[in-house]
């Protein structure tokens, strides 16, 4: 982009200023009713968005130009993000009608894949994570991730070799990494960035090394949270691995959002020992989130089990499946709640009806905090708060500890609901620019301005009748044109009867036109009534939004309570509809399942699926060698056991006659990695197909449960099979190994 700024208009000089400031972004430059792009940005937008490429000038050096309507910008932003671009939105920050010279503009936000807040740009039941990676010394690493659309902020330390697995599980939309140019491990960092991009699909954003400086990062975090220490979040103030990753997140959000981030009010340190570890290979092999061959959601465990009705419940349910519990007490709390809801048909139905009418409170709270909530957001929030009162009444009738806790957390915020209901028009438009957002009767001044606009014709009619009666001129009329405004028209033959207070305004062929002080006052009111009404509406709405922002913390707590209620109710509904049973969870070493079924295939095949048993960790031993011909069900059997254990530690009931399961802390699988069971394709069949295209996959099937004992875990990790596999002539033989939890764990 060659710029000769001395020859440019003031507006184009502004464009070049902001483009130089944000060179890695497509600049959407507001001009009137359009966001315009120029030069290479215009060519890119023309290609990606299918826009006609025109030019700003027709001289020797025409400037390429492509624009999008400002009122439809969200759809175009989504396409740009999907194509892998970042967009800097440069807005007019003063009224063009009152501006002296060029209208002032500024970049109000930078839209990137990891910093989205608008519903149109997000998937309702999926988190949208921005992640930052920090590599420490001695193979230590840390990752921090945030979903700005919900305010959830996390940090975790882990061995560097497990970094990719964790990132693949999180599936971030964007990943921040330090620009390591000139440093000794630049090659290693570049390789990691490439792997992250390839395996997760995340956009890699390199930031200067000072983003990850421990001291600066700590200061950023302290300033953001308004604390003197990070100890309250479980983070040591001297931690030089965790703090830089989290600090880089905050710096990037401040850089891109340019607004308050009050909804990100805490950071949670993830302690891996509290959750059953399911690495990415296991997630993939068990088809928990995506099927192996098509990467589809259909046919996965999540798709099969997710009966949640709210967006926030769906996001939490996915997290529950990916990170099952490892503490017996926590699992039993969930089981007790699921069981009690399951046994009450009418209450189950009532709760689900209420949940279906609850909005995504979590994301609305985030938009309120960042001052991006629209009229329909506030209206939906008011409706949700009214449902919370009814939900709380139902939850108060249960005896399960977790349900009683959720009842206490159902904060209906009646005063906020009343304010929003009284202020927002029930059939309000989506955008403030359309007017008609504030309800009649809420503000007297606004009602008066609207009355002037709506009742103008009746006022003019009455005024005309008054003047005819006053003057006795029957053909007197009151009119309006854009050039001269309002006037009283009197024919030439009656001009001498015009009252003394009539001020001559215009002479036409057969009449005289006059104005009066009263009509002039009406003209001032009428011509500016709509404009003033809209301006006042915007002021009232901004005040409402600021008042609602004071409730953000309470709204987030409420959203979390509703999400948990949704997950528990979904599990209860699932258990009732499919006749699932409650597994007995223990701290022992048993794994006994009678008449168990693969949760996905049992739904697909119905009565054709044959239930089966498993008994491990007892006197019969903790090792099974499974052999059989191709497509005989070996992979299905092994996967089934792993999935039922995972479901049980999530707190779910399972498809079986009965079960007793000792807690495990890790599931490792390498189970027919190329099978797609729902499609009826075996490992052998898939491998033959892949061989034909010069691609082979291992045929070994293996399921391993490790103990929580450090010694046993070290053994199973170093030697995943307790001894050599026996010789077998069957192709695709399998093995299952259960290491029971020892008394020292």
Q: CATH number of the domain that 217 lies in?
A: 3.30.420.110
pTM (predicted TM-score):
0.83
Q: What is the DSSP letter of 126?
A: S
Whether the CB-CB separation of 126 and 118 falls below 8 Å is answered with no
Residues 650 and 681 in one domain: yes
Q: Helix-strand-coil percent breakdown of the chain, rounded to 5?
A: 45, 20, 35
**Structural domain contains residue 280:** no
Q: Which CATH number characterizes residue 79's domain? A: 3.40.1170.10
Helices (H), 594-633: 599-605
Q: Which two tokens stand for residue 29?
A: 């430059």
Residues 635 and 682 in one domain: yes
d(CA 43, CA 32): 21
Q: Which CATH number characterizes residue 368's domain? A: 1.10.1420.10
Whether the CB-CB separation of 416 and 548 falls below 8 Å is answered with yes
**Structural domain contains residue 281:** no
**Structural domain contains residue 624:** yes
3-state secondary structure (DSSP) of residue 148: coil
Cβ count within 10 A of residue 101: 6
Residues 561 and 613 in one domain: no
Length of the chain: 745
Strand-pairing partners, residue 623, are: 737
Question: Which residue has tokens 């159902």?
Answer: 410
d(CA 318, CA 313): 9
Residues 506 and 393 in one domain: no
Strand extents, DSSP E, 603-699: 612-616, 623-626, 658-662, 666-670
Residues 558 and 639 in one domain: no
Cβ count within 10 A of residue 492: 12
Give the Å distances, CA to CA, from 714 to 666, 682, 683.
12, 33, 30
Q: Which two tokens stand for residue 646?
A: 């995972």
In 3D space, the residue among 72, 117, 109 whose CA is nearest the CA of residue 89 turns out to be 109
d(CA 396, CA 634): 47
Residues 102 and 138 in one domain: no
Number of domains in the chain: 5
Residues 671 and 561 in one domain: no
Instruction: Tell the burial category of 453 from Cβ atoms under 10 Å away from its Cβ (0-12, 13-18, 19+).
Output: middle
**Structural domain contains residue 257:** yes
Whether the CB-CB separation of 116 and 367 falls below 8 Å is answered with no
Residues 731 and 603 in one domain: yes
Q: Which two tokens stand for residue 217?
A: 């990062």
d(CA 173, CA 112): 9
How high is the pLDDT of residue 720?
31
**Structural domain contains residue 298:** no
Last residue of a domain, one of 83, 111, 139: 111
Strands 503-507 and 87-92: unpaired
In 3D space, the residue among 467, 452, 449, 461 whose CA is nearest the CA of residue 516 turns out to be 467
Whether the CB-CB separation of 156 and 142 falls below 8 Å is answered with yes
**Structural domain contains residue 276:** no
d(CA 84, CA 68): 18
Residues 713 and 591 in one domain: yes
CA dihedral 291, 295, 299, 302 (to 10 degrees): 90
Last residue of a domain, one of 224, 249, 270: 270
Strand extents, DSSP E, 392-544: 477-481, 485-491, 503-507, 511-515
How high is the pLDDT of residue 647?
97
**Structural domain contains residue 116:** no
Q: Which two tokens stand for residue 510?
A: 């057969």
Instruction: Tell the burial category of 178 from Cβ atoms under 10 Å away from its Cβ (0-12, 13-18, 19+).
Output: buried
d(CA 674, CA 293): 7
CB-facing half-sphere around the CA of 422: CA atoms within 13 A: 10
Whether the CB-CB separation of 365 and 555 falls below 8 Å is answered with yes
Last residue of a domain, one of 91, 111, 131: 111
How high is the pLDDT of residue 671?
56
In 3D space, the residue among 17, 23, 11, 8 whose CA is nearest the CA of residue 88 turns out to be 23
Residues 104 and 127 in one domain: no
Q: Which domain holds residue 509?
A: 445-543
Residues 487 and 590 in one domain: no
Question: What's the distance, Cα to Cα, between the start and end of the chain in Å?
Answer: 65
**Mean pLDDT, the chain cut into blocks of 10 residues (745 residues total):** 63 92 94 92 95 80 90 91 93 81 90 92 94 87 96 94 87 90 66 86 91 95 95 92 96 92 94 84 86 86 97 96 93 98 96 97 95 93 97 97 97 97 92 87 90 76 93 92 86 93 91 93 80 90 95 97 98 97 93 94 90 84 81 84 96 96 85 48 51 37 37 30 30 39 28
**Structural domain contains residue 524:** yes
The H or E element that residue 36 is part of is: strand 34-38
How high is the pLDDT of residue 621?
76
In 3D space, the residue among 717, 658, 650 whose CA is nearest the CA of residue 286 turns out to be 650
d(CA 91, CA 722): 65
Residues 152 and 259 in one domain: yes
């Amino acid at each position: 982009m060659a710029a000769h700024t001395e020859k440019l208009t003031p507006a184009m000089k502004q464009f070049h200023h902001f483009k130089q400031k944000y060179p890695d972004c497509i600049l959407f430059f507001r001009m009137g009713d359009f966001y315009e792009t120029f030069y290479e940005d215009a060519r890119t937008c023309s290609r990606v968005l299918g826009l006609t490429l025109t030019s700003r000038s027709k001289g020797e050096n025409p400037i390429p130009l492509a624009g999008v309507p400002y009122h439809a910008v969200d759809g175009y932003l989504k396409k740009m993000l999907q194509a892998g671009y970042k967009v800097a939105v440069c807005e007019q920050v003063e009224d063009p009608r009152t501006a002296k010279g060029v209208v002032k503009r500024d970049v109000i936000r930078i839209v990137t894949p990891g910093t989205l807040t608008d519903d149109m740009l997000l998937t309702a039941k999926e988190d949208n994570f921005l992640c930052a990676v920090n590599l420490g010394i001695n193979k230590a690493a840390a990752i921090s991730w945030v979903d700005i659309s919900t305010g959830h902020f996390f940090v975790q330390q882990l061995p560097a070799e497990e970094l990719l697995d964790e990132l693949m599980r999180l599936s971030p939309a964007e990943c921040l990494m330090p620009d390591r140019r000139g440093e000794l491990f630049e090659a290693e960092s570049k390789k990691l960035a490439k792997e992250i991009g390839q395996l997760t699909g995340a956009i890699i954003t390199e930031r200067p090394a000072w983003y990850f400086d421990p001291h600066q990062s700590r200061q950023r975090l302290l300033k953001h949270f308004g604390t003197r220490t990070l100890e309250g979040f479980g983070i040591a103030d001297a931690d030089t691995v965790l703090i830089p990753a989290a600090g880089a997140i905050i710096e990037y959000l401040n850089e891109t959002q340019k607004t308050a981030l009050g909804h990100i009010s805490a950071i949670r340190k993830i302690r891996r020992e509290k959750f059953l570890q399911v690495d990415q290979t296991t997630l993939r092999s068990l088809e928990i989130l995506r099927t192996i061959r098509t990467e589809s959601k259909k046919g996965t465990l999540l798709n099969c089990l997710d009966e949640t009705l709210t967006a926030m419940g769906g996001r939490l349910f996915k997290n529950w499946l990916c990170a099952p519990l490892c503490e017996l007490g926590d699992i039993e709390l969930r089981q007790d709640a699921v069981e009690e809801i399951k046994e009450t048909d009418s209450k189950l139905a009532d709760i689900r009806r209420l949940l279906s009418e609850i909005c995504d409170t979590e994301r609305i709270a985030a938009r309120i905090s960042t001052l991006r909530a629209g009229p329909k957001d506030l209206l939906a929030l008011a409706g949700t708060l009214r449902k919370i009162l009814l939900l709380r009444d139902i939850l108060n009738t249960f005896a399960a500890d977790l349900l009683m806790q959720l009842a206490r957390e159902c904060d209906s915020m009646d005063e906020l609901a009343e304010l929003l209901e009284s202020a927002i028009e029930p059939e309000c438009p989506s955008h403030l620019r359309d007017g008609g957002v504030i309800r009649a009767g809420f503000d007297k001044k606004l009602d008066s301005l609207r009355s002037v606009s709506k009742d103008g014709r009746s006022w003019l009619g009455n005024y005309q009748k008054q003047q005819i009666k006053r003057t006795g001129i029957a053909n007197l009329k009151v009119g309006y044109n854009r050039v001269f405004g309002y006037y009283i028209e009197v024919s030439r033959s009656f001009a001498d009867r015009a009252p003394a207070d009539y001020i001559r305004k215009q002479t036409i062929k057969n009449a005289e036109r006059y104005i009066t002080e009263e009509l002039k006052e009406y003209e001032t009111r009428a011509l500016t009534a709509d404009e003033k009404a809209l301006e006042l509406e915007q002021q009232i709405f901004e005040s409402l939004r600021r008042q609602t922002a004071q409730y953000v913390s309470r709204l987030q707590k409420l959203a979390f309570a509703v999400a948990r209620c949704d997950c528990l109710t979904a599990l209860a509904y699932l258990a009732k509809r499919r006749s699932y049973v409650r597994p007995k969870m223990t701290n022992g070493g048993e794994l006994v399942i009678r008449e168990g079924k693969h949760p996905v295939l049992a739904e697909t095949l119905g009565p054709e699926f044959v239930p089966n048993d498993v008994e491990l960790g007892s006197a019969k031993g903790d090792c099974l060698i499974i052999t059989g011909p191709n497509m005989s069900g070996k992979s299905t059997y092994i996967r089934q056991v792993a999935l039922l254990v995972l479901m049980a530690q999530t707190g779910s009931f399972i498809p079986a006659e009965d079960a007793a399961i000792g807690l495990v802390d890790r599931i490792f699988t390498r189970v027919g990695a190329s099978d797609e069971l729902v499609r009826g394709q075996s490992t052998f069949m898939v491998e033959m197909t892949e061989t034909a295209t010069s691609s082979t996959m291992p045929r070994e099937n293996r399921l391993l449960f490790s103990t929580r004992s450090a010694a046993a875990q070290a053994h199973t990790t170093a030697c995943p099979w307790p001894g050599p596999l026996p010789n077998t002539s069957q192709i695709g033989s399998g093995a299952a190994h259960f290491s029971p939890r020892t008394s020292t764990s």
